[in-house]
Structure 1
Amino acid sequence: MSNPTVHVVNLGCRVNRVESDRMTVELDRRGFDLVDEDDAEIVVINTCAVTGEAEAKTRKAVRHALGCARDPWVIVTGCAVNLHADVLTALSERVIAEPSKAKVAACAERLVADRLRDSPHSDDYDATTLTDLLGRSRIGVKVQDGCDNRCSYCIVWKARGPERSVALDRVLDDVRAAAASGIAEVVLTGVNLGAYRASDGSGKVLGIDGLLESIVRDTDIPHIRLSSIEPMDIDEALLARMAAHPTRVAPFLHVPIQSGCTETLARMNRPYDADDLLDLVDMIRGAVPGIALSGDLIVGFPGETDEEFECTRALVERIGFSRLHVFRYSARPGTPAATMPDQVPAQTMAARSAVIRALVDKTSRADAAARIGTIERAVIEYPGRGTLGSFHRVIVDDASDDLVGRLVDVAIMDVDSHGVLRGRVVRSAGAGAEASVDSR
């Protein structure tokens, strides 16, 4: 008797990606064969509801799955389910809502219990499972969930619930498992990563800086990257930890500023102003030389005038982002911003988005060019291709097949017309090594 088949669809943020990976591994452990969507008896969809557009994509994904060749059961989980499960289950009697992502695999197992009863499968899996199933050199480790902020455009705090952190021992176990499976880099993720708080076992509460130090000290993972972290959660303690371990911690921060205008930020209910952002960037660059800064930005927020947009444009130019995710404001029903006056026309938002994207294309190229002549660590993901600690792509012609999945030191030689760096391998970086490398 063949094993039942399943396909996992991920929508949304980095945290969803990590949770989808965990569901994939658990489904494999329970005896499911992982297949393409058209061949699946069960399709699991990890939904997103961060904007109205995201919820529309969720409904489209469910309808697509329902139309697949094998008339699959569709298990929906995630943020859209926590907010509007009835909207999704109304699409078909084959749609099952499971609010708990930890219970998705068990839900799938119940649907095909007769098939699994006689199917041999392991109650555990060895350390190679992650790489065997996911085939990656980099993997996310979820350390935190939920958000206590109340940004006026956001509904994530309702969908995800209050802030809560993964126990330190659990995080360390996940990182060790990744290291044992040959993963070169872990990305610490959370809905509000900087809100991490957990006991170290002796009564002391660790923040994100203490967690980072514990991972460096108590695991052999070669490289650690922080995912998105709010501006107000970046402090001297965190930057000192990053600076103390330049070859273990990626010189990179993704900072969702959302706007560069004080008045717009106030309407967004963000707890900082434009001057705070500039001071923060100065502190970051002073503490971690050569760091690359990425971010998120919303254009066309309700009430954003031409003058306010110009403040944002000027701040983005001054910061000099290496990359920036630019979002046109999308009204999310149930949020204060959705009913604010002076909604910005779609064509105005499109024009402003184009201005910022063109600007960031220039600042990204400048950030890349400034790295010529330095040595930076890179994860080699394909023969001749890798990603630097600064998250720039790099062409490394002498990175042979045996270096794929490895962490190497790369001397940056040049940058092409598209802003892609070119370098050569200086040496392969050993797990846990704290070698001395040049920095910008």
Structure 2
Amino acid sequence: MSGSVALDYFSSNHALDDRRSFPGVNLVLKQRLDVADGLRWVAEGRILAEQIGHDTPEATPARARDLRDVESVVSELREGYGELTTGRFEVRAGKQIVAWGRADELNPTDVITPKDYLLLLPEGQSAYRYGVTALRADYALTPSTRAIGIWVPIFSPSVIPIDVPEGVRLRERVPGLRLEDGSVGAKLDRSGGKLDASIAYYYGFNLLPEARVGSAMQDPLTGARRVDVSLVHPRRHMVGADFATAAGRFGYRGEVAYVHTGNASGHDVEEVTPYLYYVLGIERSFFDNLNVIVQYVGRYVVNRVDPARALDDPDPLRGQARFLAARETFVINQQLDTVQNGWSARIDKRWWNDTLDVELLSLHYVERNDFFLRPKIAYELADGWRATVGGEIFHGPKHSFFGRIERNTGAFVELMYSF
């Protein structure tokens, strides 16, 4: 058994509101137990008290399925699966994190495991992940090459901040617990030697929501509007590949995915269209304790939909509602521009026998000039003790990927003990 206990403080939360000052207490427990020869049990659970002093927001359907919110406390079995190894086969069954992709921070092929972006954790993306119930089988073709198959019978969506306007009744519709609502994937992966690479396919659902307007009406006496909006997660196909290699102090990595949706022609004004998402990066180490990763990030949207088309609806009220919903969908899914260009950089420097770690992560999209910065300093105080201070800066136009969550900009500090 291992784990950690942390006291932290965030000046802002990750919801789209104006609340400030969030002290928290987090407990993480991990277990790797060898039950028998070739049979292992792996589990990770965590209790996150992140809303101390604040009312608990109403749990979203995604949280209701996988998490438990009780008086500002999120308790979660993040992973819990059995692993059987026999000969060339390895089988995992249960709740598990399946992370695909070799690019840094941004992974086009990472379409299986959801993330909870409302969590307040200094580690960022990797800590936001929570496991899916899945059956995974690996077959070792050679010592360095594996064929991987995965079946996910229960869909779990990512949890993101949503700003619900007055008069809007919002509900999230997730696929049912039926056999035909499962997801499947396959991957051929090579690890080791001079080149790491893989090709992958996945048939599942969009982890991010897409807004659909149902009814829209206006009270003739008061003028109050009432709009019913559903958050849905349509089916999609993903075909992707990645690679990573090194030469001297230089490392090279890349990742690409083509995602085919049900709106290939762009006829539906509220649904995401197919897209190509790609990342190409270079990594360089300097001296023994400075590492720099720079990546180009691009996206091409096929038959991009202009959300203003929704205004052609014969019902002006419903047309306006559909326009706003479509625009929000395309901001969240990054489809407001046919071509999107951006770059990311991670600079990591260590001092004092690697006890002091200073890191800066940045991401900038050119077309709308929105960006994200996360400076972070971590210091190993003593055996098991670590102090971290940092911040998250979101900036851009209101209707841009990072501008949408600009009010979540803030600082954080954490004191953690690992055992």
Q: Same fold (TM over 0.5)?
A: no
Instruction: Give the number of the structure whose residues are more often strand, by fraction.
Output: 2
TM-score in terms of structure 1 length? 0.27
TM-score in terms of structure 2 length? 0.28
